[in-house]
Amino acid sequence: MAVASDDNISFKDYAHPERLVSTEWLARQLNDGVVGSSDLVVLESDEDVLLYETGHIPGAVKVDWHLDLNDPVKRDYVDGRRFAQILGERGIGRDTTVVIYGDKSNWWAAYALWVFTLFGHQDVRLLDGGRAKWVAQGREMTRDVPDRTIVEYPVVERNDAPIRAFRDDVLAHIGQPMVDVRSPGEYSGELLHMPDYPQEGAMRGGHIPGARSVPWARAAAEDGTFKSRVDLEAIYVDEQGLAPSDDVVAYCRIGERSSHTWFVLTHLLGFERVRNYDGSWTEWGNAVQVPIEVGAQ
């Protein structure tokens, strides 16, 4: 059974306020013993695979974007069977409310939330401010790993089309709204080559023609929470000229930072059609004959 939304006043202006919970709300659920029940499971999703082990929110379970959500062999996400196993092992049922939090202003948490959405998990929310805010407020952390009772999660096949773009989709999309959320140096093409060092990266630098540069972190406030709706609209609507009815594609390097922007546009600003291109620059910058633009906007 789903847990009631956080009616925190600071969320009320967002298009889908039920997608966020505050640290106060989560602390109350902890106090009331709801965290870790079949109603509410809290997941930590970080860039650093060891961060959870250094200490986490009591009752929280770890999910690793690389080891748990990516297919171990081909470049794709796990299939429905594996997803069911990952969630079942964590005590998550199809109706469980899942709250995800993580490091780096929740960008990896947003990535996990986006993958959960591919599988149509209904009630998945972010802890506004993520791990950093919880820690900054001096709230309890623990190294104890909870024992979860395995539950049955149904095998649901992914439905990629509504929120995921592939290379050919992006080729066909050129000329329509596109957001590059990487740093300005990556966007212009300056940041790529580093002599003498091993480099995970792309053969070419630059951006997809027509993409606007809006670094993902502009949507985050200093404490890692999301900016207010008014401030977000000032960036994406007033400055960049995007409209909620637009068909938008967002991308970065592997689709993690752009998941954060996808969350902002979809759930906070109520855009109806936003797709995340998870192939992103590590595919585009290596693909043969795709068009590339260089230089600052």
Partner 1 sequence: MTADEVAAGLPESLDEIAQDFAALSARDRLTLLLDFSDELPELPERYQGHAELLERVDECQSPLFLVVEVEGAHDALGSQQATVRLFFQAPPEAPTTRGFAGILHEGLDGLTVAEVLAVPDDAPYRFGLGEAVSPLRLRGMVAMLARIKRQVRIKSAA
Query: Which residues participate in catalysis according to the annotation?
Result: 252
Q: Taking the complex as a whole, how short is the minimal distance between the CB of residue 143 and partner 1, in angstroms?
A: 9
Question: For the stretch 145-167, what's the b/e string if a residue is b when 16 or more beta carbons lie within 10 angstroms of its beta carbon?
Answer: ebeeeebebeebebeeeebbbee
CB nearer to partner 1: pick between 66 and 81: 66
Q: How many other C-beta atoms can be found within 10 angstroms of the C-beta atom of residue 47?
A: 15
Q: Taking the complex as a whole, how short is the minimal distance between the CB of residue 121 and partner 1, in angstroms?
A: 24
CB nearer to partner 1: pick between 203 and 288: 203
- Residues contacting 71, CB < 8 A, separation 6+: 77, 78, 79, 82
Is 138 an interacting residue with respect to partner 1 (CB under 8 A)?
no
Per the CB < 8 A criterion, the answer to whether 187 and 213 are in contact is: yes
Where helices occur in the chain by DSSP H, the ranges are: 23-31, 80-89, 107-118, 130-136, 167-173, 184-188, 229-233, 257-263, 280-284
Closest by CA to 60, choosing from 41, 88, 33, 47, is 41
Is 230 an interacting residue with respect to partner 1 (CB under 8 A)?
no
Q: Taking the complex as a whole, how short is the minimal distance between the CB of residue 276 and partner 1, in angstroms?
A: 20
DSSP summary character for residue 19: G
Contacts with partner 1, 90-109, as mask; x by CB under 8 A: -------------x------
> Among residues 198, 230, 245, 288, which is the contact residue for partner 1, using CB under 8 A?
198
Q: How many other C-beta atoms can be found within 10 angstroms of the C-beta atom of residue 245?
A: 8
Q: Which two tokens stand for residue 26?
A: 């989560």
- The stretch among 114-122, 155-163, 190-198, 271-279 that binds partner 1 (CB under 8 A) is 190-198
Is 75 an interacting residue with respect to partner 1 (CB under 8 A)?
no
d(C-alpha 287, C-alpha 202), whole Å: 9
Is 196 an interacting residue with respect to partner 1 (CB under 8 A)?
yes
CB nearer to partner 1: pick between 51 and 109: 51
Q: Taking the complex as a whole, how short is the minimal distance between the CB of residue 74 and partner 1, in angstroms?
A: 14
Is 194 an interacting residue with respect to partner 1 (CB under 8 A)?
yes
- The stretch among 115-123, 179-187, 189-197, 226-234 that binds partner 1 (CB under 8 A) is 189-197
Q: How many other C-beta atoms can be found within 10 angstroms of the C-beta atom of residue 226?
A: 25
Q: Taking the complex as a whole, how short is the minimal distance between the CB of residue 295 and partner 1, in angstroms?
A: 23
Is 73 an interacting residue with respect to partner 1 (CB under 8 A)?
no
26-65 residues in contact with partner 1 (CB under 8 A) are: 47-51, 53-54
Residues that bind partner 1 (CB under 8 A): 47-51, 53-54, 66-67, 103, 194, 196-200
